[in-house]
Structure 1
Amino acid sequence: MITNTELEFKGNQYPSKIVSIKHEGDSVYFHTDGSVILKLTVLRDSMLRFRYTTKGYFSNDFSYAIDKSQLHGYNFLEITETELYYQVKTSKVLCRIFKLDLRISIFDLNENVILEDELGFHWEESYEYGGNIVKMSKSSKDGECFYGLGDKATQMNLKGKRVENFATDQYAFGKDQEPLYKVVPFYVGLQNKQAYGIFFDNTFRTYFDFCHERRNVTSFWAEGGEMNYYFIYGPNMHDVVTTYTDLTGKPELPPLWALGYHQCKWSYYPESNVKEVAAKFRELQIPCDAIYLDIDYMEGFRCFTWNKEYFPDPKRMVSELAADGFKTIVIIDPGIKIDKEYSVYKEALEKDFFCKRADGPYMKGKVWPGECNFPDYTNPVVREWWAGLFQELISDIGVKGVWNDMNEPAVMEVPNKTFPMDVRHDYDGNPCSHRKAHNIYGMQMARATYHGVKRFSYPKRPFVITRSAYSGTQRYTSSWTGDNVATWEHLWIANIQVQRMCISGMGFTGSDIGGFAEQPSGELYARWIQLGVFHPFCRTHSSGDHGNQEPWAFDEEVIDITRKFVNLRYQLLPYLYTMFWQYIEEGIPMLKPLVYFDQEDTQTHYRNDEFIFGNQILVCPILEPNSLGRRMYIPRGQWYNYWTNELISGGKEIWVDTKFDQIPIFVKAGAVIPKYPVQQYVGELEFDELILDLYYKEGKEKSFVYEDAQDGYDYKKGRFSLLSFQTNGKEKDLIIQLHQEGKYSTNYSKYKINLFGLPFKIKEIEIDNEKISFDSKAFEKLNYLIVDKGFSELHIIGK
């Protein structure tokens, strides 16, 4: 393993002095008296890209991570020279490039240091493979904190940690284990209440050291490729994360049912077992929208086939499940069984679509079907072929989603658990070895799957989920955190992983509720479901070798708790859908760690457990057995206890009592939280009113509700409904202003407004400056108002 100890790097090389510069459009080239060139590109006033080459010229500029549709542009760019450095100035930052050694310092406009090189760029020649091991080291200040990097199973703040990025099948991984399934080489630094981001867009095996080896040095390096990174200035974490998410792309809206509850196991078969599980959900009145078929639905684990003994008529079964509200999701792995009678294998062989070793033979590895070859998803022709294979599953049989697994890629019975590094890839016309393509293999498989599922689902929206991913994969698919374990420690890990994924651009993520490996106790399962319903992707999944993990595998109390919390998720679907809309429109993460929510409060910088669900709901899971309460931090502001409606002032740690059927949940004062009635599946009910839970606050607060047809693409033609509620509370009155956008007309005609925390008794009510009749006795008993949905201003006047 490569380490970053400078003394071990006898062969380190460094840039020499700058001899010339050239300004072309948005880029400035700095040439040294060696062969090192730095290309600095101003993409936005707050986003700079740094590319280094050591060979006197740049290779083709190609990235799978960058969203080609995103727009760039800056307001101001000025280049000046002093005796010691060149300065590139935008309307947000100053960047100084020192003449002597090409080192860089970045300042805000008040000349406060945001980030500066320590050794800066340096490299070591790779004699084994050719090319360079490329390195970057930055100075770090005392108190600096670091966040991000995707699914790392460690504390939220990465200060003092060293992490490795190499997509790996880590069955039953542990806390702090490295590396894991996903590669997201993006982090947020927070120092002196100023945030910045670094995205190291290099697909080779990469490492990040956050003051682990040397106390005041942060470094990142790669085993090959370019030193190519993006610097993003905040100063708010919000700006850093949304800019990075914009750079690497956002998904389209999922169908609303994909935000419901999903049930999965390795494996539900035969058909009678699938039907039995589905029927039990309906019998117990636990809402569920999707049921998954793992590898056993296939004929000998051959992708795109069905085991006719277990599933004699899959189209009929899928149709019958759909009639009861269940969408069928099937697994598809990358390994294609070597079998001359198998049509998928035959076609790929004839068309030369499989990955090859360096000397020509096809890459061969053992996975579930036995010996397999593997498609080269980095070839656009192969991706197009792969997409076409989904026609039968989606169009003919009626499957509604596809689950990509084993795509790190995972290979069994070999020491490194994956392809040999000499395997060759097309890499979209930039041929390379597996050293470069490994980390994006799963991403490109998910991309090809997405295009196939989308093509054959149209005019409905696709649903895809992947285990392995690289930055930008969120454009194509949702994800989950891999093969976790039914332990309390893994409940803690799942909570942090999903928060971390959300601020790393990949919001549509969840964990295997209850743990994949081993058997949870009823208490652990209940506590996990209480957390999982607040994750963007919500699925129970288990390995099945220890028995069942459906809610009814536990006692009546656990069944009741599961029903209660899954019901709550279904009530909150319009809130969750609105969160998703804000994520795809503005890049706002759906879950917000407390440090993201309030970086000014240093008490939030090391918090792991609490998070903000959307913008206005604070959630804190119970993470220990036998706990009927816990200490937690309430961020600054006013918050209502969801269960008791007690109003609490934040900015402090408090003890919160709970019951077994509760976890600490708080709602931000002033919030308007939209709710639907409980449905057993999305679209089961038509309803005539939207429930709005309004929590009084003295002062102003804004809330949003986004709705559309819940599937299809009409929302892209303006057929959506966006409600913005501005509440303004005073001592003796409350004004609710409603602004509406969009051409979609919702089915309901009324709002049922539940009022919490009103500090006065109501004397009268005006809608759009007209008094309406009001039964004060009825209100005091029920605490809600029903009003027609078309109002602009609702004025509640106190006595």
Structure 2
Amino acid sequence: MGLCISLTHAVDRSNFKTCEQSSFCKKQRNVKPENSPYRALLNSLEVTEKSIRLQLINEVNKVPLLLEVYGLQGNMTRIKINELIPLKPRYEVLDVLIQDPPTVPLAIIGKDESSLELGFSNNVYKLIITSKPFRMDIMTGNELLLSINSRGLMVFEHLRQKKDSYTEKISSTFGSMWSKIKNVFISEKKEENVENEDVKEELDPGNDKTNPVEQPEDADSQNESQETEDEAGMWEETFKTHTDTKPNGPSSVGLDFSLPGFEHVYGIPEHADNLKLKTTDGGDPYRLYNLDVFQYEIFNPMALYGAVPLMLAHNIRRTLGIFWLNAAETWVDISSNTAGKTLFGKMLDYVQGANEIPQTDVRWMSESGIIDVFVLLGPSPFDVFKQYASLTGTQALPPLFAIGYHQCRWNYNDETDVQTVDAGFDEHDIPYDVIWLDIEHTDGKRYFTWDPNKFPNPKNMLQNLALKKRKMVSIVDPHIKIDSGYRIHSELQSRNLYVKTKDGNDYEGWCWPGSAGYPDFTNPEMRSWWTSLFAYDQYQGSMDNLYTWNDMNEPSVFNGPEVTMHKDSVHWGGWEHRDVHNLYAFYVQMATAEGQIQRSGGTERPFVLTRGFFAGSQRYGAVWTGDNSAEWDHLKVSLPMCLSLALTGISFCGADVGGFFKHPSPELLVRWYQAAAYQPFFRAHAHLDTPRREPWLFGEDNKQLIRAAIRQRYTLLPFWYTSFYHAYKTGEPVMRPMWVEFPGDVETFSLDDQYMLGNALLVHPVVEQNARGVQVYLPGNGQFWYDVHHHQRYTGPQNLYVPVTLSSIPVYQRGGTIVPRKERVRRSSSCTHNDPYTLYVALDAQDFAEGDLFVDDGHTFNFQKREEYLHRRFTFKNNSLIARSASAKGHFNTVAWIEQVIVLGVSKPSAVILKLSDGSESSLDFEHQAEPLVLTIRKPAVNVGAEWMLYIL
């Protein structure tokens, strides 16, 4: 919910920087390929138990850097570059990695004067470090997978003292101090018996024997002509009316990566753009900088609310990932090239017998911090998902209600309004799980409070919802009204937990409450205190069916630069906001989720929706795509936006149904419900100034269409919940691009108007106005696909033209899969807990199918802590359906049973026999349809946790 201006205007681009207006981005982009000043000092090599370390030298300014290379378990490597002797520590991202990644030994398998060759993962992979210019290449066999700094675009701006009248007076003293530090460092190296003549020469300009150009007298001085030229943007930068002071001066880092053989790259959300990332030649790079963008435009690389610095590259043979662990403002350039432009590439072309290899080049540029990058070597898409999850964690398993339907708007006016809307769903027989309250429910925008006139009895309201097994979500934003009578503000102030200005005062900005302070969520003490606020005796009026929405947490500051916080603000530990900006929302959601867990004594799973996010946010809940508009293109772009997030670990994604801004036509609203019913997070939401949009307000025909879409969602809840369990266990996305399931089919590589749910369902929502048909691509050589509504079978690969009406939602079940459903209509997900299951068995060309089902209580951590769950595996082969446990662990008592088994693609049997684990057998009733081939087996009546077998004779 961004700054409200007018519903008729799109984003004001002038509020947000272009690369040209961001001094470090402009400066780095002006660095041209080739002629890299960096050299690896191979004689400085140190081998430790976990890594190899060696020094790099910038031959222009003689500033030494430290390179660390780690081999990591699971086909990954980590590369860190930092200043060897910085004036002060540089920021390294905290709390995103779930552990110190386990390492594997790096073996030195070759070394000469110009290069060093390392092997890891049992020498399946080789990493070659070339000395001059510094470059790294990762290979497997004779195949070059990835090159680093092969274009010579690495930038590492060292910290330095500003050249003013004062520092000039002490410059000679500082230079002497620096020389002493260098001499001590070199002496220590000698004592370690390291051959460091090469190091000494590069650290001691007075000992320069190779470069005829006179060098600066101290390592603090960079190329003077360049420094003078860039002075205006180095120590101070003004954008519109805001001036960003830079007490540490320039500190940006950048590195280029070349990917020979790769033409398709994905990821780096959040952008309102296609799934396949575009080249940025001639335009702005993709920007990663969490911002409150009012009524954002689509199909451009502007930054939005969240940032995940993970990119995936894919071709028919392999998937790779590049994870750039940096929380500062970051820009990513993408260009196409050929591997043969470099000598090394030409050599490989010769070895591989190729003339020219397609290549994608990627350049990362961040304003501060260090270079800390993980290369995920796959080789399959699912290997990359697992590798990234091993670093940042998996998608939290949401409580079952959270994957039901959510009803929201800004705002439901009062308790009577809530009661009326809730009753409306029952009256019109439409299931829903959660009703939401936006900022107007509070007492004057004071979070953790209720408006005493509009919501005088919140517990009664919540108890009435609980009687129907429904929930509520209330908004809690991270801007706190500055009011001495407001307890939250007073405690933050007294505990000294606000973000500070560069002068040490509490930072103040303007947001919904007016003048507001911003809690410093980077501070563990602050997060712990925030967590305590969700206790029932602290959050007055709250109950166990009240959950939380964190909005505006980029952070949004209406009167700040680019509608966010000043970069020279100061956080816990003395770090500038520029260092941690993209982490702020991550920490807000973390603390909120912990608060919900703590209030239940660690028993209940939380639900927290966040607008801002970073790598690792998947561990704490859901995200949505922010303040979209009621336009067809916004419906269309919601698909690639959520697919991009899913590729980077965040599966729990959705878009505001109907569009937040403007008023959708009935057709657009119906189509949006139909599309969103097949996206992971399913919530309708609308702006304060839009007409009401409850599903029954658009006429009887449209109400029935919307109701049908919502009911389809509820029917598939067992499948959704099981898919989320897999995401929790392995990191695989719930909603996934077609190429993930069909990695060798190039026809799928650019598809983003259709997608897979798990490995079983292909969804192609209708997202065009007045559509009379859609073109669906059914991949797979000989792969069967079954229309889930009519059970008609098709064989891939083919482009299928599908005629559509306003009731159509093209969805296909993949042959070879089994999908569990619950087909009884209930008012909410919790009401279905003991309802029976129907198994849809879709046979492949070999008359085989398999699938699974995860069952637990749907809301606690008992599945984790006590192994209270069922994980069932269903396999159809040799005309028999077998039900067994998918895990040696797990136990859970349930009365839910199997009501029906529907087999698609099977001929008419003479009999169907059920055999139980005790050996008893019984004959079952069935019905067979010849066109299309559908066998319906009625009432096996076995408990879902039982062992059994069906014989089709």
TM-score, normalization: structure 1?
Answer: 0.94
5 Å matches for 1:120-199?
120=152, 121-124=154-157, 127-128=234-235, 129=246, 130-141=249-260, 144-161=263-280, 162-177=285-300, 178-191=302-315, 193-199=317-323
Residue 326 of structure 1: how far off its partner (Å) = 2.2
Q: Distance in 2 between matches of 1:354 and 1:582?
A: 39
Q: Distance in 2 between matches of 1:772 and 1:241?
A: 44
Q: Cα gap change, 1:37/1:661 in structure 2, threshold over 3 Å: closer, same or farther?
A: same
Q: Distance in 1 between matches of 2:868 and 2:764?
A: 36
Residue 542 of structure 1: how far off its partner (Å) = 0.5
Residue 98, structure 1, aligned to residue 130, structure 2: yes
Q: Distance in 2 between matches of 1:78 and 1:554?
A: 70
Q: Cα gap change, 1:64/1:536 in structure 2, threshold over 3 Å: closer, same or farther?
A: farther
Residue 405 of structure 1: how far off its partner (Å) = 0.6
- Which residue of 707, 720, 726 maps to 1:582? 726
Q: Distance in 1 between matches of 2:92 and 2:456?
A: 46
Task: Look up the match of 1:44.
Answer: 73
- Which residue of 107, 119, 125 maps to 1:89? 119
Residue 756 of structure 1: how far off its partner (Å) = 1.9
Q: Give the 3-state SS of the residue equivalent to 1:189 in structure 2.
A: strand
Task: Look up the match of 1:63.
Answer: 93
1:555-595: CA deviations, max 9, x gaps?
A: 22221111111111111111111001000111110011012
Task: Look up the match of 2:778.
Answer: 634
Q: Cα gap change, 1:110/1:213 in structure 2, threshold over 3 Å: closer, same or farther?
A: closer
Q: Distance in 1 between matches of 2:372 and 2:100?
A: 19
5 Å matches for 1:665-684?
665-676=811-822, 677-684=824-831
Task: Look up the match of 1:24.
Answer: 48
Task: Look up the match of 2:842.
Answer: 695
Q: Cα gap change, 1:775/1:320 in structure 2, threshold over 3 Å: closer, same or farther?
A: closer
Task: Look up the match of 2:922.
Answer: 772
- Which residue of 773, 784, 797 maps to 2:937? 784
Retained in 1: the 8 A contact 2:53–2:68? Answer: yes
5 Å matches for 1:359-374?
359-374=503-518
Residue 476 of structure 1: how far off its partner (Å) = 1.6
Retained in 2: the 8 A contact 1:140–1:211? Answer: no
5 Å matches for 1:231-630?
231-392=375-536, 397-398=542-543, 399-426=545-572, 429=573, 431-458=574-601, 459-630=603-774
Q: Cα gap change, 1:584/1:77 in structure 2, threshold over 3 Å: closer, same or farther?
A: farther
Q: Give the 3-state SS of the residue equivalent to 1:239 in structure 2.
A: helix
CA root-mean-square deviation: 2.5
Residue 753, structure 1, aligned to residue 901, structure 2: yes
Q: Cα gap change, 1:4/1:30 in structure 2, threshold over 3 Å: closer, same or farther?
A: farther
What one-letter code is carried by the residue in structure 2 that aligns with 1:773? S
Q: Distance in 2 between matches of 1:28 and 1:448?
A: 36
1:600-645: CA deviations, max 9, x gaps?
A: 1111111111110122000011111111320121121211111221
What one-letter code is carried by the residue in structure 2 that aligns with 1:101? P
What one-letter code is carried by the residue in structure 2 that aligns with 1:454? I
Count of residues in correspondence between the two structures = 792
Residue 692 of structure 1: how far off its partner (Å) = 0.8
What one-letter code is carried by the residue in structure 1 that aligns with 2:566? P
Task: Look up the match of 2:798.
Answer: 652
What one-letter code is carried by the residue in structure 2 that aligns with 1:338? I
Retained in 2: the 8 A contact 1:400–1:463? Answer: no
Q: Give the 3-state SS of the residue equivalent to 2:949 in structure 1.
A: strand
Q: Distance in 1 between matches of 2:28 and 2:513?
A: 46
What one-letter code is carried by the residue in structure 1 that aligns with 2:68? K
Q: Distance in 1 between matches of 2:325 and 2:623?
A: 20
Q: Distance in 2 between matches of 1:328 and 1:572?
A: 22
Q: Cα gap change, 1:203/1:570 in structure 2, threshold over 3 Å: closer, same or farther?
A: same
Q: Distance in 2 between matches of 1:185 and 1:49?
A: 15
Task: Look up the match of 2:30.
Answer: 8
Q: Distance in 1 between matches of 2:577 and 2:836?
A: 55
Identity across the alignment (%) = 28
Retained in 1: the 8 A contact 2:316–2:746? Answer: no
Residue 37 of structure 1: how far off its partner (Å) = 1.8
What one-letter code is carried by the residue in structure 1 that aligns with 2:274? Q
Q: Distance in 1 between matches of 2:460 and 2:598?
A: 22
Q: Distance in 2 between matches of 1:757 and 1:771?
A: 25
Moved more, 364-373 or 680-689: 680-689
Task: Look up the match of 1:211.
Answer: 335
TM-score, normalization: structure 2?
Answer: 0.79
Task: Look up the match of 1:664.
Answer: 810
Structure 1 unmatched runs, 5+:
none
Q: Distance in 1 between matches of 2:337 and 2:447?
A: 46
Q: Give the 3-state SS of the residue equivalent to 2:419 in structure 1.
A: helix
Q: Distance in 2 between matches of 1:757 and 1:745?
A: 33
Residue 201, structure 1, aligned to residue 325, structure 2: yes
Residue 725, structure 1, aligned to residue 874, structure 2: yes
Q: Give the 3-state SS of the residue equivalent to 2:510 in structure 1.
A: strand
Q: Distance in 1 between matches of 2:398 and 2:539?
A: 16
Retained in 1: the 8 A contact 2:272–2:299? Answer: yes
Q: Distance in 1 between matches of 2:29 and 2:584?
A: 34
Q: Cα gap change, 1:321/1:265 in structure 2, threshold over 3 Å: closer, same or farther?
A: same
Q: Distance in 1 between matches of 2:91 and 2:158?
A: 21
Q: Give the 3-state SS of the residue equivalent to 2:635 in structure 1.
A: helix
Q: Distance in 2 between matches of 1:711 and 1:147?
A: 34
Residue 773 of structure 1: how far off its partner (Å) = 2.3
Structure 2 unmatched runs, 5+:
1-21, 160-233, 236-245, 339-358
Residue 760 of structure 1: how far off its partner (Å) = 3.8
- Which residue of 110, 113, 133 maps to 1:80? 110
Q: Distance in 2 between matches of 1:317 and 1:41?
A: 55
Retained in 2: the 8 A contact 1:209–1:220? Answer: yes
What one-letter code is carried by the residue in structure 2 that aligns with 1:644? H
Retained in 2: the 8 A contact 1:118–1:217? Answer: no
Retained in 2: the 8 A contact 1:116–1:138? Answer: yes
The structure with the largest strand share of the pair is: 1
Q: Cα gap change, 1:395/1:260 in structure 2, threshold over 3 Å: closer, same or farther?
A: farther
Q: Distance in 1 between matches of 2:901 and 2:29?
A: 67
Q: Cα gap change, 1:266/1:668 in structure 2, threshold over 3 Å: closer, same or farther?
A: same
Retained in 2: the 8 A contact 1:122–1:135? Answer: yes
Retained in 2: the 8 A contact 1:449–1:464? Answer: yes
Residue 193 of structure 1: how far off its partner (Å) = 2.7
Moved more, 546-555 or 193-202: 546-555
